[in-house]
Amino acid sequence: MAHRWTNTLTRNDVTEERLWLNRRQIMAGLGGMAVAGLAGRAGAAEGLEPNSYEEITSYNNYYEFGTGKDDPARYAGDLTISPWSVKIDGMVDKPGEYGFDDILSKMTLEERIYRFRCVEAWSMVVPWTGFELADLLTMAGVKSGAKYVAFETVLRPDEMPGVRYNVLDWPYVEGLRLDEAMHPLTIMATGIYGRDIPRQNGAPLRLVVPWKYGYKSIKSIVRITLTDTQPPTSWNKANPNEYGFYSNVNPQVDHPRWSQATERGIGGGLFAKRKDTLMFNGYDEVASLYEGMDLTVNH
């Protein structure tokens, strides 16, 4: 496919958070010169300072561990993440259980650095490390006729106290259209700031789709299924009037209970000035995926 984006960066090229922040301060003192620090696929996050590791790992939505923003950091430590495998099935040439270490061994040379904005009612800039989902799907072999990719989160009631409550229909499931899944901005994240991704952020492997609302980026994935029918998604099942299948960031479509026209950046405090939400979260390069679609109906 002609969509591929390439560079030569690897996990070793990620600037440590401490050095990154210090370097920004030093460069600012020299007259605000551009800082090359964390490079790679920045997209709509270009020029925006990443949030701190503490902010990224302490303010999370991961309802399997509770509905509070600090519940995942408090309770996710009990989640067993090694060994780990992902079942890839459905319309693929090579279905089976793929061990996490085996996946990484095949992706290491292509592992890249991404600095993406994540948006819900709040936003933060996260320096992910990972690889394109397209690489993993290509490894499994996508069969002709496949149109969608379905995902499933691990379900372990003994390790996930939040699933004792019927907040959602467990296990958590998500889905993308195949062309969305194969887009180079769609990644499987394995780390943050060059460190292994923490449990509360979706260890050891999670989806990141930066032009969609955060709940589309399913965490701790154990199953990926290629299918020719649109798969169910957890929030759409819970309340289809509020959460559509696509869930693209669209400031022109209000959530029934709040406006999505503005967002609050994490790290600026509760009284920080809100800013306008950008269409597709600022990732204009994905607009062509939705040409001819009514994005009010297909929300």
* Residue 11: per-residue pLDDT: 44
For residue 38, name the pLDDT band (cuts at 50, 70, 90).
very low
For residue 268, name the pLDDT band (cuts at 50, 70, 90).
confident
Count of C-beta atoms within a 10 Å radius of residue 258: 8
Q: How far is CA 85 from CA 170, 193, 224, 253, in A?
A: 19, 24, 11, 38
Distance CA 182, CA 256 (A): 31
Phi, psi of 130 (to 5 degrees): 170, -155
* Residue 272: per-residue pLDDT: 76
* Element housing 86 (H / E): strand 85-90
For 258, the token pair is: 């709040």
* Residue 18: per-residue pLDDT: 56
Distance CA 77, CA 190 (A): 17
Alpha-carbon torsion (135, 137, 143, 148), positive or negative: negative
Report pTM: 0.87
Whether the per-residue pLDDT at 1 is higher than 70: the answer is: no
For residue 267, name the pLDDT band (cuts at 50, 70, 90).
confident
How far from chain centre, in Å, is Cα 32?
31
Phi, psi of 89 (to 5 degrees): -145, -170
Share of the chain above pLDDT 70, in %: 83
* Residue 250: per-residue pLDDT: 94
For residue 17, name the pLDDT band (cuts at 50, 70, 90).
low
Q: What are the residues whose beta carbons fall under 8 Å from the beta carbon of 269, sequence distance 6 or more?
A: none
3 state SS of 101: helix
Whether the per-residue pLDDT at 161 is higher than 70: the answer is: yes
Q: Mean of the per-residue pLDDT values for the chain?
A: 86
* Residue 45: per-residue pLDDT: 79
Count of C-beta atoms within a 10 Å radius of residue 171: 18
Whether the per-residue pLDDT at 178 is higher than 60: the answer is: yes
Q: Which domains does the chain carry?
A: 11-290 (3.90.420.10)
Q: What is the DSSP string of 126-181?
A: EEEEEEEHHHHHHHH-BPTT--EEEEEE---TTT-GGGGSTTS-SSPEEEEEHHHH
Q: How buried is 62 (Cβ within 10 angstroms: 0-12 exposed, 13-18 middle, 19+ buried)?
A: buried
Whether the per-residue pLDDT at 143 is higher than 50: the answer is: yes
Distance CA 196, CA 129 (A): 9
Segment among 106-110, 216-220, 244-248 with least mean pLDDT: 106-110
